Amino acid sequence: MDECGDAGSTQEIPGILHLDMDAFFASVEVRDDPRLRGLPVVVGGAGARGVVAAASYPARTRGIRSAMPMASARRLAPDLVIVPPRIEHYRRISARVMELLGDVVADIEQISVDEAFLDVRGARRLFGAPEQIADLLRRRIREELGLPSSVGGSVSRAVAKIASARAKPDGLLIVPAARTAEFLAPLPVSVISGIGPKAQEALDRIGVRTIGQLREIPRSALARAVGPRAPEILALADGSDRTGLGHRTRDKSLGTERTWDEDLTDPAEVRRCITQMADDVARQLRRGDFVTRTVVLKLRAPDGTTITRSSTWDQPTSSGERLREQVVSLWERERSRMRRVRLVGVRASHLEPAAGTPVQSELTARAAGWQDLEAAMDRALERFGTHSLGRGSTLSAADGAQRGPADPVPDPAASSPGHPAEDGPHPRERGGR
Ligand SMILES: [Mg+2]
C-alpha cells in the first residue's frame, strides 16, 4: 500500500478534483422552503429588466438558463417561481461548504462562491482513492448542508472542471489519466475555457468542432485560431496537461455598475452617480479589509461605445474620498466625448489586503465570490446587451456557478480595454485612509 517512493505513479492519480454546487442559489432556496421542490424556481430580480441568477433543474428542463432575462424565463414557464437573491445567506453557506472541504482536504483553491479545486493526492492515505474522497465530500455536503453538488476528477484542473460539468446534476465523474484524450475527443471545443466564441468561430471555419478534430490540425492553424494559448490548449486536448492547483493567478477586483433605462444627459447627474459608486466601492473594500491601487471608470454610450479609463496610485488606498476624486477627474476628461450615458461603472482592481491584515482564506473567498458575481453579470451584459440588464449593487447579482465549461470566467479587470495602458496621472499621496 505504500506508494510514497513512486513519484511516477503518484502523479498519474486523477487527484485534482473540481467540486461545484448544483444550481447553488436555487438549491439553497429550495432547501429552505421545501414547498418549492420540483417547481421551476429561479433566483433573480423580478423587475422588468431582471435577470436569472440561478435556475433549479426543473426550471432548466423548461429551457431556462442563468443570465437569461427574467421576461424570457417567464415566457418559458408561466408558473415560474422567482425568489429574490439573498447574497449574504449564500455566502454564509458557501463558507460552510469550504470549511467542510477543508476538514478532509488540505489543498483547496476556491474559485467562486460555490466551486473549488481540491488536490486530494495527499489525502488518499487517510481517506482513500479520489473516487472515495469525492463520495465522502458529496455525502457530507448533502447530509450536513442539505445541498447537491457534483465532482469531476482528473490529472489536470481543466479536465476536472470539464468532468464536473458532465457529471451534473448530483454526479461524480473521474477521468483516469490514460483515458483523458479519449474522454475529451468527442466533446465540442467550446468546453475548453481558453476557447472563446471568436476562436470557436475560427475553428468552425476550418471544420474543427470537437477536441478530437482539434488535435489533428497543424499547429500553425491552431495558433491562428486560438492565439498564444495554442500550446496550452493542445496539451489539454491530447491529455498531457498536468496543471494542478494554484497555477492560475487571478487579479482580484471589485466594483459596481449600473445601466439606465433612459440615457443620462445631465453631467451633474453622471457625476453624482459616479461619486456614489466610488463611495460604494470604497465601502466594499473596507468591508473586505482590502486596499486598491487602481480605480477604473467605465462609461457606455447608448450606441454601445464603451470607454474604460483607469488611474493608478503609488500607495494603495480604501478611501472613498480618493476614489471619488479620481473617478471624477477621469470623467471630466471624457465627458465631452460622451454626452449621453447609458451605463456607468466604477471598479477597484489590483486589490491587496489592508496593511497588517493577513490574507485569510475567508477574505480571499469573499473577494472570489464578488468577482464571480461580477463576472457573471459581465457575461450577461455581453450576451444580452445593456438594454436587458439593470444592475444594482446586489439585487441582480448572478450565480457564476451556473456557468458551464463552455462559458469561462472572464477576468473583468484584465479584459477592460484601455487598462492599464491608458492609466491616468498618478495622484499625490495624502497619507493614511
Ligand atoms: Mg455551481
Residue 84 Cα to ligand 1 midpoint, Å, equals 18
What domains sit in the chain, N to C, each tagged with a CATH number?
Answer: 253-415 (3.30.1490.100)
Higher pLDDT, 250 or 141: 141
- How many Cα atoms sit within 13 Å of 214 on the Cβ side? 35
Residue 95 CA to ligand 1 centre (angstroms): 14
Beta strand ranges found along 16-161 (DSSP E): 16-21, 41-44, 52-55, 81-83, 107-112, 115-119, 149-154
Residue 38, pLDDT score: 96
Cα of 24 vs centre of ligand 1, distance in Å, is 5
Average pLDDT, the chain: 79
Report the separation in Å between the CA atom of 115 and the middle of ligand 1, taken as the mean of its atom positions. 6
For residue range 83-94, list pLDDT tens digits in order. 999 989 999 999
233 contacts 222 by C-beta, under 8 angstroms: yes
* Higher pLDDT, residue 192 or 430: 192
Backbone φ and ψ for 77, nearest 5 degrees, come out as: -140, 95
For ligand 1, the distance from its centroid to the CA atom of residue 21, given in whole angstroms, is: 4
> Rounded to 5, what percent of the chain is helix, strand, coil?
45, 20, 35
Who's near 345: CB < 8 A, 6+ residues apart? Answer: 255, 256, 257, 258, 277, 296, 297, 298, 299
Q: What is the pLDDT of residue 117?
A: 94
The more confidently predicted of residues 159 and 47 is 159
Q: Does 135 belong to an annotated binding site?
A: no
Burial class for 219, CB neighbours closer than 10 Å (0-12, 13-18, 19+):
exposed
Residue 46 has pLDDT above 50, yes or no: yes
Number of Cβ within a 10 Å radius of residue 139: 11
Q: What is the pLDDT of residues 251-290, one digit of tens each?
A: 577 888 888 888 899 999 999 999 999 998 998 888 777 7
pLDDT band at 124 (very low <50, low <70, confident <90, very high): confident
| Residue keyed to cell 453624482 | 272
- Are 167 and 183 in contact by the 8 Å Cβ rule? The answer is no
CA of 25 to the centre of ligand 1 (A): 9
Any known ligand binding at 114? yes
Cα 22 from Cα 168, distance rounded (Å) = 7
Per-residue model confidence (pLDDT) at position 304: 80
Query: pLDDT at residue 39 above 60?
Result: yes
- pLDDT tens digit string along 364-408? 434 444 445 544 544 554 444 333 333 232 222 233 333 333 333
Give the residue among 34, 51, 54, 33 at the shortest CA–CA distance from 43. 54
Catalytic residues: 115
Q: What is the grid cell recorded at 415? A: 479584459
At residue 233, does pLDDT exceed 60? yes
Please classify residue 99 by burial: count the beta carbons closer than 10 Å to its beta carbon, then call 0-12 exposed, 13-18 middle and 19+ buried: exposed
User: Which amino acid, residue 257?
Assistant: E
User: What pLDDT score does 360 carry?
Assistant: 33
pLDDT confidence bin for 104, thresholds 50/70/90: confident
* pLDDT at residue 355, as a whole number: 60
pLDDT at 314: 79
| pTM of the predicted protein model | 0.58
Distance 123 CA to ligand 1 centre (A): 24
Least confident of 10-14, 92-96, 131-135, 425-429: 425-429
Whether 359 shows a pLDDT value over 60: the answer reads: no
DSSP 8-state secondary structure symbol assigned to residue 286: H
pLDDT at site 251: 52
Distance 22 CA to ligand 1 centre (A): 5
What pLDDT is attached to residue 155?
94
Contact 284, 354 (CB under 8 A): no
- pLDDT tens sequence across 51-71: 999 999 999 999 999 989 999
CB 290 within 8 A of CB 427: no
* pLDDT score for 361: 35
Round to whole Å and give the CA distance between 102 and 159.
22
